Structure 1
Amino acid sequence: MTGFATRAIHAGQEFDPTTGAVIPPVYQTSTFVQEHVGGLRKGYEYARGTNPTRDALQTLIADLEGGSHGLSFAYGLAAEDAVLRGLLRPGDHVLMGNDVYGGTHRLANRILAPWGVQLSTVEMSDVDAVAEAIRPETRVLWLETPSNPLMKITDIEAVAVLGHEHDTTVVVDNTFASPALQTPLALGADLVVHSATKYLGGHSDVLGGLVATSDARIAEQVGFLQFAAGGVSAPWEVFLTIRGIKTLQIRMARHSDNAEAVAKELVDHPAVEAVYYPGLPEHPGHEVAARQMRRFGGMVSFALRGGAPAARIFAESTSVFQLAESLGGVESLVNYPAEMTHASVRGTELEVPDNIIRLSVGIEDPDDLVADVQTALRRLTS
């Protein structure tokens, strides 16, 4: 199987050999009967360690990301925690972009830093700046592209080359793009992490985190923490994620179409100061995004000229776009990052300007989405 849509439906999803059921069963069990002491049936012993349903998702994400190892976690942050603790030790340094999900920065800054890990941030879209910021003790380069919420684009291939010259593990948070639009391992990254809650699940009804890599050593390190710390995903959540992934390609195409329509509507509006969408030719990362992404995704951010008051009015004036945290579901969401998803980074170098709005553009009728944006904007100019 070579086509993405085919693999999204079939990888790890062999039909049930007992009944012929097209959908593999959900193994809702905590433990497995042994044939004799130490005699495990196909390696299954206790569900924290292995579970057939979770194995299927791990096979699926590894396949879609072009890796050989996949790991599934209860949350995106559980996946990130296992990656960072698996790769770092006290005294090591992690270099992150200066625009990442607030929870990622909080994890490194408030949990790992007291343990002795050093953290600094850099304009990751500037390869020269990254080169200057790497230290002898740098062990992880953490890329998020497109970034959250300012949609900055990092040249994965260029940073991966740089990172490997310094014997540094290159991690890419691929949540905003998904493997339908971008495959970082093929561009030289060592490891990919996802909040499966977002586009992979796709329906705002599941929490999860995923990791993919082709490095057996990294897979073993992160996998040990998955087992020993117990942040594994539960069977039902795994099932929902697999179900969502089956339609990932067609959803991402519609997300991209709708986001492009919304971004174009925002560009020339007098109330809008700037639009952050890599599909726009004027976006500073457009050329890199066009080279490493297959489409530009469903996330659009923009700055309003009226500052925080205007941003609040807009966020509370939409109807099709619902005011909520999270992203990547079939429904459209509007978010005010400064006080919602990125409140944890206020007062840091990652503080989000208070005139920024982030839209997760869903798969509704595009005319309805554009009309909803127009209505909210009219409230700012009336």
Structure 2
Amino acid sequence: MAQRDPGPAPVRRIIHIDMDAFYASVEQRDDPALRGRPVAVGGSRQRGVVAAASYEARRFGVRSAMPSVTARRKCPELVFVPPRFDVYRAVSGQIHAIFARYTPLIQPLSLDEAYLDVTHPLVDAPSATAIAEAIRAAIRAETGLTASAGVSYNKFLAKLASDYRKPDGLFVITPRMGPAFVEALPIEAFHGIGPATATRMRALGIRTGLDLRRQELALLARHFGKAAAFYHGIARGRDDRPVDAERRRKSVGAERTFDRDIYDWAEATAALADLSGRVWLACATRGVGGRTVTVKVKYADFQQTGRARSLPAPVSAQAELLRVAQDLLRPGFPPDRGIRLLGVTLSNLQPADGDASPQFALALPV
């Protein structure tokens, strides 16, 4: 007996939910005196880092991962609030419980951001757009916070869509719209293409999605290696990555490419402090800690090296992460050639226990 043709697979329905200025919005919700004021969650001292900025602060150019001294310079009226990661995790749990009413296929990216595959939802709903609206309404009613949502047929476009009408917005990119929507975007707006890659693409004359789509896969592979297939696909509005409910991040890292090559230990230490702060903030956001610290160095001649150290227990503070990173970099000083790039990565990740949140808070001095 011949098997029946199951027919084409259904078009996927992917939602990307992104809370609006999550940490800062929680603080403004819980303290009415902060509402309408420029708020930064993080440390206000010399080495503090902004974990999140309210929309009032963003109008002055204040952004997450920005050094606190820079943020204060941009907005003298900025109100700094110490982070309460235990509270943020509790609210995130409420939000994820809302997601679970609609689908088991939830891929968290951080406490305030997730992908949902609602191709086969747990509820009767006329569309993915209706589900996204219902989720946003439930979040507002149950937490007092707002969320932005993007709806599309793959993860790449759903994330682009959620950014399109922030804050408190919803945008849909249909299969018919996808390729044209991508064409007009500057390369810097592509999720998955970082600043260093965007610079390399611009050097090749690739400035927009249309420019990227015109490139042969072979050329992209020569310049970008394994990532070429992904870039080739997203330039055409294609992204086959599944929403992976089991996915666990293996490492958290940050890199910085310098405008000019550096030789000086003080400059290198300042860069390591910035990178360590960004990594620590990302770990705090995800509720994880790690035992292995790696420092990556790329020299002016593009030769690259890395040094790593595994510790008996997870790194317990931002200052410890910086100290280990400095110890790993020190044997290479003074360098015999300029340093073009530095990177810091924390791996061997594990969930932070209940006692970890005060440590994360202490890493952002107040």
* Higher radius of gyration, 1 or 2: 2
TM bucket normalised to smaller: under 0.3
More strand by share: 2
After TM superposition, the score normalised by the length of structure 1 is 0.24
